[in-house]
Chain A
């Protein structure tokens, strides 16, 4: 079975029609579904949050069978994820796509679990610390996308689980977890 780095690819990745947009409705539906699954799977294992449509995204071409996805196909498959709530376009031109292999709600739950596990109730952390600090190492939060993290934090703030405030430096914000 073919691999992409340490990612195991499914057999159909070598099926040439997988890389051609199928015009027949039922077939197309199935094709889009399989692409959505594969993209989410890959992003989850590789911790990829953003896919640039014009970049060389490894999944979008297969050198073994010399096939690659057209721009239209990439747009359609990612739009499929967007309409499922598993991705968001970051610009109107559909050039960059934010992949939510965990939904914002799921990320928020992760943060709460992290706070609880580390006894961080009532303590203060910077946003940057959550992403790359010692405490989060080894958890899903480590290395996560800042935009996604901020959205999850704001969601928790609305629910009164934490408070956010401006830090001393302009580019960082602090978080105070509530008990």
Chain B
């Protein structure tokens, strides 16, 4: 969009949630916010969008069309004006003004030589004082610098490493077994320290949460590279446990959970979008459909803190209808709720159920939900829903006996009512008869 010229654009996920930078955490979300710049007459219309204040940026997202988003790095902010307390300000829409560095042509730029004033007009019902104080807090904490410095030092190291032959930089040699051991030792010590710090008390844990997620991510990557290089190793046990470890680490990671505090009135909307992004991976693993209760567990485990309630989850899922997301909530007749890909087709599942029900054994004794669960690789409760749906489509028939509730392939369709003794050679009834009639 046109904003790209004046403000850096921000990336969005397919469900319309911002893609956050490493270490970036959302702090506040406001709806119906205008972005204005009086000094620049060419400044485009930023009307009534969603404003997200993060530890690194101010993001402005146009909700009406998915054209993208604009961002203002907090590093460019040079001053935040205090709120006006005049009579006029009391009756008008609350405004928050701040000064940002800009290039000579008016483009917002951290290293710009001039500066412009940007005004946020809060049309929503949000409290400007709360936002103002949070804005201040975030701006003052300068958390975007922490990572930048880390990144800088990394790249400096690389540069110096690359030009080794030219300069005579004296570094501790990382060579031989002792070098590797020492490096491992250092890594262990720092890891150990951050683990110890984290568990000292709950407050410390909260502040360490971000670091822990980063650590987990790092460990995952290491495991990943380790397992590929040792793919040929016959040590199945080891790779199995590595896989498990990886899965655990993977489910650690929502760095910036949408909370009631940060998103306010937009809580469910933002939660809904975040959830849509989150379920992609578990959905893929579960074969396109996953029970809502499982998502609840996974999602809250990934959030770690700031757990959501079941009602929040259902509301968030219900909102998907309004957004263009690739997943949907589905309610089976029995009331069981699942999340599935919009592209998920029952046909495929039915085909597999049918082939299961046509196995010689199943023709004799039928199938039950746990058989189907094993074949389909899903939870028995979900398998039962599939069987019931297949039954309602006329694929299966039920058999209720003291032995339990079982399903058989539907042969009724194939029987000629005018001649009940007729067995057509081809067709499911014929298959069933030949499988269940003892030869001779």
A binding-site residues for B, Cβ under 8 Å: 1, 8, 10-12, 14-17, 19-20, 22-24, 26-27, 30-31, 33-34, 37-38, 41, 66-67
In the complex, the answer to whether A27 meets B397 with C-beta atoms within 8 Å is yes
In the complex, the answer to whether B420 meets A24 with C-beta atoms within 8 Å is no
In the complex, the answer to whether A34 meets B398 with C-beta atoms within 8 Å is no
Asked whether A23 and B437 contact (CB < 8 A) given A8-B421, A31-B412, A38-B420, the answer is no
In the complex, the answer to whether B408 meets A15 with C-beta atoms within 8 Å is yes
- Tell me which of A22, A24, A34 has the highest count of chain B C-beta atoms within 10 A of its own C-beta: A24
Asked whether A15 and B411 contact (CB < 8 A) given A20-B399, A24-B394, the answer is yes
- B352 at the A/B interface (Cβ < 8 Å)? no
The 9 closest A-B pairs by CB, nearest first: A17-B397, A16-B399, A30-B412, A10-B420, A17-B399, A11-B433, A20-B400, A33-B417, A17-B408
B binding-site residues for A, Cβ under 8 Å: 366, 391-392, 394, 397-402, 406, 408, 410-413, 415, 417, 420-421, 423, 429, 432-433, 436-437
- How far, in whole Å, are A16 and B410 apart by their CA atoms in the complex? 11
In the complex, the answer to whether B392 meets A12 with C-beta atoms within 8 Å is no
With A12-B420, A19-B399 known, 8 other A-B pairs at CB within 8 A are A12-B411, A16-B401, A17-B399, A17-B412, A27-B397, A34-B415, A37-B420, A66-B402
> Of A17, A30, A37, which one neighbours B413 at CB under 8 angstroms?
A30
Query: Residues of B contacting A26 with CB < 8 Å?
Result: 394, 413
Q: B397 to nearest A CB, angstroms?
A: 4
In the complex, residue of chain A having the shortest beta-carbon distance to the beta carbon of B365: A16
In the complex, residue of chain B having the shortest beta-carbon distance to the beta carbon of A30: B412
In the complex, the answer to whether A30 meets B417 with C-beta atoms within 8 Å is yes
In the complex, the answer to whether B391 meets A24 with C-beta atoms within 8 Å is yes
Query: Residues of A contacting B399 with CB < 8 Å?
Result: 16-17, 19-20, 67
Query: Residues of B contacting A66 with CB < 8 Å?
Result: 401-402
In the complex, the answer to whether B423 meets A37 with C-beta atoms within 8 Å is no
Q: A17 to nearest B CB, angstroms?
A: 4
> Of A16, A24, A34, which one neighbours B417 at CB under 8 angstroms?
A34
Query: Residues of A contacting B392 with CB < 8 Å?
Result: 24
A-B contact list, 9 entries, CB within 8 Å: A10-B420, A10-B421, A15-B432, A16-B406, A17-B410, A20-B397, A24-B391, A27-B413, A30-B413
- How far, in whole Å, are A121 and B170 apart by their CA atoms in the complex? 134
- How far, in whole Å, are A22 and B417 apart by their CA atoms in the complex? 17
- How far, in whole Å, are A31 and B411 apart by their CA atoms in the complex? 10
Asked whether A27 and B406 contact (CB < 8 A) given A10-B420, A20-B399, A37-B417, the answer is no
Asked whether A11 and B401 contact (CB < 8 A) given A27-B394, A27-B410, A31-B412, the answer is no
Asked whether A17 and B398 contact (CB < 8 A) given A12-B411, A24-B392, A27-B410, the answer is yes
In the complex, the answer to whether B421 meets A20 with C-beta atoms within 8 Å is no
- Tell me which of A14, A27, A67 has the highest count of chain B C-beta atoms within 10 A of its own C-beta: A27
Query: Residues of A contacting B433 with CB < 8 Å?
Result: 11
